[in-house]
């Protein structure tokens, strides 16, 4: 009986490796070669053989840095963009200073409030006396950044195109962002006469693209955004472009760092986090394979607690996240918390919390079986490995689903229009 259970669980682990192979071209954490080796090692030596690789990959996920450079002329909206990307407003703790005079004298780094390995860099405007265009990238320590956002609040200037050409020559990606689009549209509306927002957006975008082409940028992509309302205009298109260009792990880090603006972003986060579940479950099964009574029980709970805390932080469900979101959306934090139905939000995640989720009963049952089978070390070890994997895998999946569903409800309430109470998402 124990052997059959073990074979079933090993099959689930192998299936997870197969699924990751299928997803390897779509932001998997592993290269195709790494996945083939993992699967081969697992089939020949079981979970022990893949333990070190998985532990290293989990550590890599937590420590991979993403450095985003944001540059443009004075008053272009660099600081506001950086704050918006981190879900902050100008008066929030840690926010970048916003002003219409050049406040950036040196590159200034602003870490993400939940993911400190993600940093947005506010660079001084190119072409100033201190930073002439021909020395700009060297002075800015070009190699540090994963990509560049070049921002303008009107037309892109000669220095912007010079910078783009140099960035391209040196092999990094850049993206033109036309900020303060809301101001342009408001000005048109107040001007009187017929006004069509979509037509005006097309006109602005075409004008930016044509001017950049005239300056020698053959196929520029220009994204129109409002720092005050990131969920509007071209922000989703900008994200799609960035995600498509980033390597797999950095892409995942970027997605998890996005502010929760709509249901699509929350769903993307859920998919990224789910890729971590099978790794944690496999590590749990390695620990469960240790033939020491009680070891797997304590370790499984520790893995669960760590996973829940990470999921909650990435999905923006900590109290500080909810307060910032409520402030940004112009809602009360009580309104957001009113739609949260899970006990996993709003307090410390402890073994007692896990027990209240009925983990305790299942874990004690498995632990008792492990103790009974320890008189036959081989059988006991195999069954422990299988049951630990299955238990952790299923519970973390259920927890992630629960937290993502609650994050979806929070986002819906935050950005639902008062004139459209049935609205379910913001595009």
Give the lowest-confidence range in 52-66, 93-107, 394-408.
93-107
Q: Which helix (H) or strand (E) holds 363?
A: helix 359-373
pLDDT digits (tens, 9 = 90+) for 241-258: 999 899 888 999 999 999
DSSP SS3 for 21? helix
Alpha-carbon distance of 154 to 72, in angstroms, equals 11
Tens-digit pLDDT profile for residues 313-338: 999 999 999 999 999 888 999 999 99
Place of tokens 């229009």: 417
Average pLDDT rounded to a whole number, residues 275-292: 71
Domain boundaries, the chain: 2-45+260-415, 66-257
Alpha helices in 218-356 (DSSP H): 235-245, 248-257, 263-288, 295-314, 319-329, 333-337, 351-356
> What pLDDT does 24 receive?
37
Report yes or no: 309 and 349 within 8 Å, Cβ to Cβ. yes
**Tokens 């959306």, located at residue:** 329
Q: Cα(367)–Cα(344) distance, rounded to whole angstroms? A: 24
Structure tokens at 370: 């492990």
pTM, two decimal places: 0.81
Mean pLDDT of 12-26: 47
So what's the pLDDT on residue 420? 44
DSSP state of 97: P
**What kind of fold does domain 66-257 have according to CATH?**
Rossmann fold (3.40.50)
Q: Is 215 exposed, middle or buried (0-12, 13-18, 19+ CB in 10 A)?
A: middle
CA distance linking residue 399 with residue 242, whole number of Å: 29
CB contact at 8 A, 85 and 93: no
Cα dist. 63→60, 230, 269 in Å?
5, 27, 18
Please write the tens of the pLDDT for every residue from 127-140: 666 777 667 777 78
Q: What share of the chain is helix, strand, coil (3-state, %, to 5)?
A: 60, 5, 35
How confident is residue 295, by pLDDT bands cut at 50, 70 and 90? low
The answer to whether residues 414 and 35 touch, using CB atoms and an 8 Å cutoff, is no
């Amino acid at each position: 009986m124990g052997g059959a259970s073990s074979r079933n669980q090993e099959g689930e682990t192998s299936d997870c490796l197969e699924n990751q192979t299928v997803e390897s071209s779509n932001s998997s954490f592993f290269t195709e070669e790494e996945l083939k080796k993992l699967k081969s090692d697992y089939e020949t030596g079981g979970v022990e053989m893949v333990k070190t690789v998985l532990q290293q990959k989990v550590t890599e996920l937590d420590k991979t840095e993403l450095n985003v450079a944001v540059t443009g002329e004075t008053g272009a909206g660099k600081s506001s963009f950086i704050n918006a990307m981190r879900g902050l407003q100008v008066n929030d703790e840690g926010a970048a200073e916003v002003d219409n005079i050049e406040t950036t004298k040196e590159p200034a780094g602003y870490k993400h409030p939940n993911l400190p390995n993600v940093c947005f860099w506010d660079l001084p405007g190119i072409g100033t006396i201190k930073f002439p265009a021909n020395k700009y990238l060297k002075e800015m320590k070009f190699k540090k950044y994963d990509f560049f956002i070049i921002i303008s609040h009107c037309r892109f200037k000669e220095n912007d195109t010079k910078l783009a050409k140099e960035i391209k020559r040196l092999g990094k990606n850049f993206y033109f962002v036309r900020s303060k689009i809301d101001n342009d549209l408001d000005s048109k509306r107040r001007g009187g006469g017929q006004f069509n927002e979509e037509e005006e957006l097309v006109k602005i975008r075409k004008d930016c693209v044509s001017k950049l082409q005239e300056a020698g940028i053959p196929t520029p992509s220009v994204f129109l955004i409002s720092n005050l309302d990131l969920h509007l205009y071209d922000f989703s298109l900008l994200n799609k472009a960035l995600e498509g260009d980033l390597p797999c792990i950095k892409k995942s880090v970027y997605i998890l760092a996005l502010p929760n603006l709509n249901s699509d972003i929350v769903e993307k986060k859920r998919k990224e986090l789910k890729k971590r579940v099978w790794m944690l479950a496999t590590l749990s099964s390695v620990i469960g394979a240790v033939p020491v009574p009680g070891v797997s029980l304590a370790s499984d709970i520790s893995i669960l607690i760590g996973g829940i805390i990470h999921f909650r932080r990435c999905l923006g469900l900590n109290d500080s996240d909810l307060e910032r979101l409520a402030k940004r959306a112009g809602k009360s934090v009580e309104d957001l918390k009113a739609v949260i139905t899970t006990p996993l939000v709003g307090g410390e995640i402890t073994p007692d919390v896990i027990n209240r989720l009925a983990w305790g009963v299942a874990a004690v049952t498995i632990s008792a079986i492990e103790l009974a089978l320890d008189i036959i070390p081989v059988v006991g070890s195999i069954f422990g490995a299988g049951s630990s994997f299955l238990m952790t895998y299923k519970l973390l999946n259920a927890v992630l689903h629960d937290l993502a569903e609650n994050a979806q409800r929070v986002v819906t309430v935050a950005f639902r229009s008062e004139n459209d109470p049935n609205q379910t998402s913001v595009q």
